[in-house]
A and B are shown apart, each in its own frame.
Chain A
Amino acid sequence: MLNVADNSGARKLMCIRIIGASNQRYAQIGNVIVAVIKEAVPNMSLEKSEVIRAVVVRTRKELKREDGMIIKYDDNAAVIIDQKGNPKGSRIFGAITEELRKFRFTKILSLAPDVL
């Protein structure tokens, strides 16, 4: 169950599938996933048991960089996006890594409070 890192209205997501990979088991930072909303804030546009797309922004599994740096978060989180890649919410919580720049999620990076 992933946390949601923006203010789109959902609280918890459950990952169903990874987009773009046929046999991959675990999603990493930057992967787009298909998820179902398990818990939502009432009276907002997104409801429980709705199937949406999201991009993973934080994982408990370490992310390795080529210069020897390793980053590990304390939780797993995702940001809900639409088909194009734009985030649905208007604010993002928590730190985002630079790796998302490679995957063309520049709007998420610009909204992030802190970029690692």
Chain B
Amino acid sequence: MQSLARALCRATNGDCGRRILQLQSGSLSTFCRREVHTTIQKGSDIFERRVVAFPKTVACSFFRNNHSNRCMSTAAQPNADLEGENVASALQADTPPRIKFKRLDKTAKQIMTILDKEAVEKVRSEKEVPDIQPGCIVELKVEVPENKRRVSTLKGIVIARRNAGLNTTFRLRRLVAGVGVESVFPLYSPNIKEMKILDRKKVRRAKLYYLRDRMNALKK
């Protein structure tokens, strides 16, 4: 109760204080009056007079309306202003629609996924890209820019596929001149001129790394 009294004292200057006093007048007048009198040595007679003068009836509706003070009504009004002067205006005016701002990195992530999808659709519309899954035997026609001469044909089994939007890659395993070679190709790479699925094997896995041990045994 003492702390309440001190708070009331601080709030006396503003309008807010008066309303709080109005609210608490019911309880105050009965048991607090004496305490208020003793704790406040500030010599503010106005304060004491106010406590006594206000009617007992508590304005309950005021208390309910008071809740809207706490939340942010618009982006324009800063939080710190919510004492005294702004209380009345906040109550009477309608709360304007809230502008919701995501955290900047979340917004950036959304934009990136949209850009990614657009890029993928653009490539898909120009080039026909088949659905390559692990276990497919695939024949690719790849042009290596360092080669500059020809388009080489690669044939192998897809052992892994990694989905990452435009950077979706798949891993191809093949035997080249007696040596096993694994290559990772970006699915939407402009260097891959043509892709053809020759066969689809039934596999029960997404990544077929166990083939590394198997195919080696066949080689030697």
**A and B interact:** yes
Query: Which of A62, A70, A75, A113 contacts B177 (CB under 8 A)?
Result: A113
Query: Which of B167, B178, B185 contacts A69 (CB under 8 A)?
Result: B185
Binds A, one of B23-31, B63-71, B96-104, B141-149: B141-149
Residue contacts A-B, CB under 8 angstroms, 7 given: A58-B179, A68-B186, A72-B183, A73-B181, A74-B182, A95-B176, A114-B177
For A77, list chain B residues within 8 Å (CB): 179
CB-CB under 8 A for A73 and B179, given A67-B191, A68-B189, A98-B146: yes
Q: How far is the CB of B27 from chain A (nearest CB, A)?
A: 75
A112 to chain B: closest residue by CB: B177
Counting chain B CB atoms within 10 Å of each CB, the highest count among A93, A95, A101, A113 belongs to A95
A62 to chain B: closest residue by CB: B184
B149 to chain A: closest residue by CB: A115
For B186, list chain A residues within 8 Å (CB): 67-69
B residues within 8 Å of A by Cβ? 144-147, 167, 169, 176-186, 189, 191, 212, 216
CA gap between A77 and B147 in the complex, in Å: 22
Residue A116 at the chain B interface, CB threshold 8 Å: yes
For B216, list chain A residues within 8 Å (CB): 74
Count contacts between A and B, CB distance < 8 Å: 63
Q: How many residues belonging to A are interface residues under a CB distance threshold of 8 Å?
A: 22
Q: How far is the CB of A25 from chain B (nearest CB, A)?
A: 24
- Does B184 lie within 8 Å of A69, measured CB to CB? yes
CB-CB under 8 A for A70 and B184, given A98-B146, A98-B147, A101-B146: yes
